[in-house]
């Protein structure tokens, strides 16, 4: 069963780092359940925008709201908000020394009871989590990895484990930073279909046009500014996004 997505509002957000505007007056609305791809050259501000949305980077100017709540508000509200978010980072951030199954279960660590901690540390999956773990392992074809430490896995296997962890709690918002970069085309297509069926609002950074075409809408950043907002771009628009013309000519 899918989850209900969230609405995201980013209003006139500017983030300055080392004297440079990494994000420059970015305004963006993402509707409930919408799938949004973020394109743009390296250094354009895509990952920073994800980090602003999740509340990891506080903007120097502007505001962010998820379903009307700020990710920089009161601690209890922020904690509740972050538990509704699943993240897949370009560097998967899996915990070395732990098995793939434990890393996936860590997606629900805030739900662990004392007995769950004891079971998981002993290598036993609590019964109440076993069905969801088996479902995701089957979907992402990682059943054979569950008992292995994550440092024993290939890059593609690690990426699929990270996706399973992000989806474990059925989040309402998925933030994905190059989420298919380590996957072959067939497994990438399968992963995208699972993201589609989750029902969550999706914001995904990518350089992969297949990911962009999978999404409902594409927003492109260049030098911290929005230079494109619309349906998946054609080849001519891609050339503009990636620097064939002056980006000022395309600022929306």
Each residue's pLDDT, cut to its tens digit, for the chain (252 residues) gives 456 899 999 999 999 999 999 999 999 999 999 999 999 998 999 999 999 999 999 999 999 999 998 998 877 677 788 888 988 886 778 899 999 999 999 888 888 988 988 898 888 999 999 999 999 999 899 999 999 999 999 988 998 999 999 999 899 999 988 877 777 888 888 888 888 888 899 999 988 888 888 899 999 999 999 999 998 887 778 777 886 544 444 443
Q: Answer whether CATH 3.40.630.30 is correct for domain 1-84+173-252.
A: no
Domain parsing of the chain, residue ranges: 1-84+173-252, 99-170
Q: Can you spell out the DSSP letters for the chain?
A: -------EEEEEEEEEETTEEEEEEEEEEE-TT-EEEEE--TTSSHHHHHHHHHTSS--SEEEEEETTB-TTS-HHHHHHHHTTEEEE-SS----TTSBHHHHHHGGGGGG--HHHHHHHHTT---HHHHHHHHHHHHHTT-GGGTTSBGGGS-HHHHHHHHHHHHHTT--SEEEEESTTTTS-HHHHHHHHHHHHHT--EEEEE-S-HHHHHHSSEEEEEETTEEEEEESSP-HHHHHHHTTSS-GGGG--
């Amino acid at each position: 069963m899918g989850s209900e997505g969230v609405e995201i509002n980013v209003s006139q957000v500017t983030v300055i780092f080392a004297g440079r505007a990494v994000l420059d007056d970015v305004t963006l609305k993402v509707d409930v359940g919408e799938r949004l791809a973020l394109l743009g050259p390296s250094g354009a501000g895509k990952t920073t925008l994800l980090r602003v949305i999740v509340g990891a980077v506080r903007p120097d100017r502007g505001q962010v709201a998820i379903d009307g709540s700020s990710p920089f508000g009161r601690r209890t509200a922020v904690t509740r908000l972050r538990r509704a978010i699943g993240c897949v980072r370009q560097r998967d951030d899996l915990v070395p020394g732990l098995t793939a199954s434990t890393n996936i279960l860590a997606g629900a660590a805030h739900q662990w009871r004392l007995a769950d901690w004891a079971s998981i540390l002993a290598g036993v999956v609590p019964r109440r989590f076993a069905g969801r773990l088996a479902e995701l392992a089957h979907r992402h074809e990682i059943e054979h990895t569950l008992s292995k430490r994550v440092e024993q896995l290939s890059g593609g296997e690690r990426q699929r484990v990270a996706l399973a962890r992000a989806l474990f709690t059925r989040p309402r918002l998925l933030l994905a930073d190059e989420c298919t970069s380590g996957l072959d085309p067939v497994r990438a297509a399968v992963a995208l279909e699972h993201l589609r069926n989750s029902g969550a609002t999706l914001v995904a950074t990518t350089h992969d046009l297949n990911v962009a075409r999978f999404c409902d809408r594409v927003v492109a950043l260049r030098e911290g500014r929005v230079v494109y907002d619309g349906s998946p771009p054609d080849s001519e628009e891609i050339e503009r996004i990636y620097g064939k013309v002056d980006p000022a000519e395309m600022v929306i």
